[in-house]
Amino acid sequence: MIRRTLPLLAAFLGTGLALAQAPDPLENFIARALERSPKVRAAREVVEAMRLGHASVRSGANPRVELAPGLGFTNGSLALSQELDLFGSRAARSRVAEAEARLAETRWLAAGLDQAGRVLADLVALEAASELAQAARDSADLARELLAIVEKRTEIGEVPRIQVTRAELEVLRAEQAARRHVAERERSEAALRSLVGPDAVVSIPPLDLGDRVARSKAMPARSPETLTRAVAVEVAMAQARAVAASGRPSLTAGMASDVWSLDRRAMTSSNLGFQVFLSAPLVDRGENRNAVAAARAEAKAAESELAEAQRIADLSKQSALTMLQAAESIFAAYRADALPKAEALLSAMREGYKAGLVTLVEVIEAQQTLADLRRERAEALLALREAELALLAATLALPGVEVPR
């Protein structure tokens, strides 16, 4: 049985259960989003239906009463019987129903994983939009600082007034870019908040995946497809056994009265006795044998599909690890090397401009270089987060959904 350790799946399990609060803000946010997901709710309803079906098969056949009135409704027979599962046919059908219920639970879990992945992707997009917005605001601040320097030099007659106009244009361009990126960030945040409901009082959590990513590197490759294919193999094998069991005899025991009367509102009977009915195919011309062979072939096909799903999962994890290694290296280079050098260059250019050693154009170019590198750093962070999510997805280690190992 699929184990539900996730706070969000605890809310899915039954009707009337309250949503548990996860101690981790990120998991709590994902839990709220999954609770509102129509896809996840639909998968839960299928699980409930399959559980009821399994319970119905497991409970066994109900006792049967057979009434056969005679001419004039004055005599006939009355029998009470119960089917006995001595040869395992009903037990085999019960195992099929149980496996099908587990398959529905696995698809429910897969729906939760898919939705959690979407939520995390939106969180990554918001983080990238926030970084870009901050970089644009920083660039606007630098442009305003440069404008103040130019105005001061203009006032004392060191540079012509036209340089003020040029610096003002740089401020205008930087401020427009900042407003554009801030608006994009607000749209990303609104989209995320819609996942948890417009009335929900919950803050958008920070995206801290470092510990999970480190642990997932040593985890085996898995995917929702490998989970469902593994249970599909169980279903196919159970169905093969059920088909084989369907060719076995069936046994029914009961009591019967051959003669009874309803004259004068009274019932009398005679020849009351115990009966046992054994039903079995007289001749098997290959129908059951062929059905069993077909069911076993389907089980082998399910095993092949599982092996293929696992192969793809292994490739996905290896690809994610390669992407992550490259993304970590690129992001580290921006943070530790490129950005500090660009900041130092701009500072030196400003001092040189104040001293009349460099031109305004050279300062603006250095300023634009720093702005470009900050934007590229935000894009590198986005690539890093996407690689981290790819690895977490390839090992089913996404936050908010704990999958049994």
User: What Cα–Cα distance (Å) separates residue 172 from each residue in 150, 161, 166, 343, 369?
Assistant: 15, 17, 10, 21, 17
Say which residue the tokens 């939009």 belong to: 129
Rounded to whole angstroms, the maximal C-alpha distance in the chain is 130
The residue among 67 and 132 whose pLDDT is bigger is: 132
Mean per-residue pLDDT for 212-223? 92
pLDDT of 202 over the 80 cut: no
Share of the chain above pLDDT 90, in %: 43
Of 117, 116, 126, the residue nearest 204 (C-alpha): 126
pLDDT value, residue 378: 93
Of 179, 193, 173, the residue nearest 132 (C-alpha): 179
Mean per-residue pLDDT for 373-397? 94
pLDDT value, residue 4: 35
Q: At 16, is the pLDDT very low, low, confident or very high (cuts 50, 70, 90)?
A: very low
pLDDT digits (tens, 9 = 90+) for 240-282: 888 777 766 665 655 665 655 555 555 555 555 555 555 656 5
Question: What are the φ and ψ backbone dihedral angles of 223, each rounded to 5 degrees?
Answer: -150, 165
pLDDT value, residue 239: 83
Q: At 18, is the pLDDT very low, low, confident or very high (cuts 50, 70, 90)?
A: very low
Mean per-residue pLDDT for 10-37? 62
pLDDT of 23 over the 90 cut: no
pLDDT of 34 over the 60 cut: yes
Mean per-residue pLDDT for 113-124? 91
pLDDT value, residue 5: 33
pLDDT value, residue 75: 59
The Cα angle at residue 159 between residues 155 and 165, in degrees rounded to 5: 85
Q: At 25, is the pLDDT very low, low, confident or very high (cuts 50, 70, 90)?
A: confident
Least confident among 98-112, 244-258, 324-338, 367-381:
244-258
pLDDT digits (tens, 9 = 90+) for 332-353: 999 999 999 999 999 999 999 9
Share of the chain above pLDDT 70, in %: 74
Say which residue the tokens 């044998």 belong to: 289
Which residues have C-beta within 8 Å of that of residue 273, sequence separation ≥ 6?
255, 256
The residue among 236 and 264 whose pLDDT is bigger is: 236
7-61+89-238+304-394 is classed in which CATH architecture? Answer: Up-down Bundle (1.20)
Q: At 317, is the pLDDT very low, low, confident or very high (cuts 50, 70, 90)?
A: very high
pLDDT value, residue 50: 80
Q: At 325, is the pLDDT very low, low, confident or very high (cuts 50, 70, 90)?
A: very high
pLDDT of 185 over the 70 cut: yes
